[in-house]
């Protein structure tokens, strides 16, 4: 909890003193490679994360274990921060030192809402961690039924949406090709 309070005070300091010290490094790290953005992602502090990203915080900076801010948001169930990071171009398939992607972390934690968000942004479902476990196996082993069903049904859901889109575009095209009277 001390690190979180310290990081939020640091963001407040950055925010209030920005005019006085315009070249403060928002990407500065501690001895373990943690940045303020990593702490903001872990703590779900959307305001701090937005401020840091608007001031050019590197969205995919990694700590000493290879984890990005999106890994932290996925691990701690921070949906709004995850959405913000993805909007700013966070790598949805970044791999940490244990081979885990944000999707694997969210699946292991049973967070169906976050799993859906990551899948919508192109998270790879076939990725395996250093132990050979994929998102489906992680969810199943932890008894996260909703996540397991979502992962198993995701390819069919995507195919159905694509099929509807093709049908719609085909119908529009045919209407445009009809002669007008």
Domains recognised in the chain with CATH numbers: 2-151 (1.25.40.20)
Q: What is the pLDDT of residues 96-124, one digit of tens each?
A: 999 999 999 999 999 999 999 999 999 99
Structure pTM?
A: 0.80
Which of 8-12, 87-91, 115-119 is the least confident region?
Answer: 8-12
Q: What is the pLDDT of residues 24-60, one digit of tens each?
A: 789 999 999 999 999 999 999 999 999 999 999 999 9
Is residue 139 within 8 A of residue 110, CB to CB? The reply is: yes
| 3-state SS assignment for residue 57 | coil
Give yes or no for residue 129 having a pLDDT over 50: yes
Greater model confidence, 180 or 173 = 180
The Cα 166–Cα 170 span in angstroms is 6
């Amino acid at each position: 909890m001390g690190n979180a309070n310290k990081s939020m005070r640091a963001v407040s300091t950055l925010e209030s003193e920005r005019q006085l010290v315009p070249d403060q490094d928002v990407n500065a790290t501690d001895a373990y490679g943690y940045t303020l953005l990593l702490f903001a992602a872990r703590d779900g502090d959307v305001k701090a994360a937005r401020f840091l990203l608007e001031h050019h915080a590197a969205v995919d900076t990694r700590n000493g274990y290879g984890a990005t801010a999106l890994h932290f948001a996925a691990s701690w169930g921070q949906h709004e921060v995850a959405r913000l990071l993805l909007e700013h171009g966070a790598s949805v398939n970044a791999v940490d030192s244990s081979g885990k992607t944000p999707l694997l972390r969210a699946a292991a934690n049973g967070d169906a809402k976050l799993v859906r968000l990551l899948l919508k942004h192109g998270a790879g479902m076939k990725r395996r961690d250093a132990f050979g476990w994929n998102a489906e196996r992680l969810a199943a082993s932890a008894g996260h039924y909703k996540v397991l069903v979502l992962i198993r049904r995701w390819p069919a859901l995507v195919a159905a949406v694509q099929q509807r889109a093709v049908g719609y575009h085909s119908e529009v095209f045919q209407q445009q090709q009809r002669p007008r009277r």
